[in-house]
Amino acid sequence: MDARPVILCCAPNGARRGTSDHSAIPVTPESMAETAKRCLDAGVSILHCHARDADGRHSLDPELNRLYLDTVRRAVGEELIVQLTTEAAGIYARDAQVGLVRALQPESFSIAMRELCPDEAAEEEYAALLADAHAAGVRVQHIVYGAEELQRFIGLQAKGVIPDAQPFMLFVLGRYSGTQASAGDILPFLQALGGRDWPWMVCAFGSEESACALTAAALGGHGRIGFENNLQAPDGRVYADNAESVSSVRKLIETLGGNIADANTARRVLAMG
């Protein structure tokens, strides 16, 4: 196991699943705050937060996201990094995604390059957004879905479009469409990364989620776990809640000698503040 602390992030709801999929999926600010407390106790240092509207639908409304942020903060203080999402989810255009970030400037947000910078014409706006976030001390997590996309990202970083010397990456393994992830899916990303010492994390669709997170930790990366991507333990049993899914991964990592990062350690690793 790599000696560096392992950051665990929980993505407890995502943009698509609701309480009809699992009763423990948080769809209100209060249930998100309760989930945050339980996941903090389980070993999480980052909470990946999707706000939901009164009907339980994914929302990028700035005031609703502010309510989620404030409610979670009252529950956990600075003991968690709260990361907002800019995911379009087939609902929002780039203006709404950019508007959320500019309105709130959260401690962290995640951004999919293919959504906010799909082509060369979008690079100037993308660069301005990232430069402003960097100047404000907001830590961006960049989402990429394959090795070819990562290679494009590396090219943009070399051009100066991405201002971070060591961008914080999320490698997505598998898809909602039914393609289940496996630990071997990490290797093409690492090959494309080419030895760059950038902090990286994986999220994985399907019951191999814990194996993917454990493999990432062993290779010097970090893991995102939670009901956004997976509800099941490796044996097919449905987890009781997000905290149980996190705890199971934490135990595996600690059994192999890994150290789990708290939020302040994660901030240092990610050079936040």
Does 2 have pLDDT greater than 70? no
- Percent pLDDT > 90 in the chain is 93
Instruction: Tell me how far apart the alpha carbons of residues 50 and 192 are, in angstroms, rounded to a whole number.
Output: 29
Residue 179 is predicted with a pLDDT of 65
- Cα–Cα distance, 148 to 135 (Å, whole number): 29
Quick: pLDDT tens for 207-250: 899 999 999 999 999 999 999 999 999 999 999 999 999 999 99
> Contact at 8 Å (CB) between 207 and 179?
no
pLDDT of residue 180: 76
Residues 38-45: what's their mean pLDDT? 98
Buried b (16+ CB within 10 A) or exposed e, 154-176: bebbeeebbebeebbbbbbbbee
3-state secondary structure of 208: coil
Superfamily per CATH, domain 8-269: Aldolase class I (3.20.20.70)
Residue 176 has pLDDT above 70, yes or no: no
Phi, psi of 69 (to 5 degrees): -60, -50
| 270, 168 Cβ separation under 8 angstroms | yes
Residue 41 confidence class, pLDDT cut points 50, 70, 90: very high
Q: What is the pLDDT of residue 62?
A: 97
pLDDT at 273 over 70: no
Q: Which of 66, 79, 69, 67 is nearest to 39 (CA)?
A: 79
Quick one: residue 206, left, alpha or beta (phi over 0 = left, psi -120 to 50 = alpha)? left
Q: What is the pLDDT of residues 109-154, one digit of tens each?
A: 999 999 999 999 999 999 999 999 999 999 999 999 999 999 999 9
| Strand stretches in 39-138, DSSP E | 46-49, 81-85, 108-112
Mean pLDDT computed over every residue of the chain: 95
The residue-averaged pLDDT of 262-272 equals 92
Q: What is the DSSP letter of 183?
A: G
Question: Residue 42 pLDDT more than 80?
Answer: yes
Tell which wins on pLDDT, 179 or 134: 134
Q: Let me know: does 133 contact 161? Beta carbons within 8 Å.
A: no
At residue 74, φ and ψ (nearest 5 deg) are: -65, -30
Q: Domain limits of the chain?
A: 8-269
144: number of Cβ within 10 Å:
22
Q: How confident is the model at residue 175 (pLDDT cuts 50, 70, 90)?
A: confident
pLDDT score of 259: 95
Q: How confident is the model at residue 174 (pLDDT cuts 50, 70, 90)?
A: confident
Which pLDDT score, from 0 to 100, does residue 154 have?
98
pLDDT tens per residue, range 64-111: 999 999 999 999 999 999 999 999 999 999 999 999 999 998 999 999
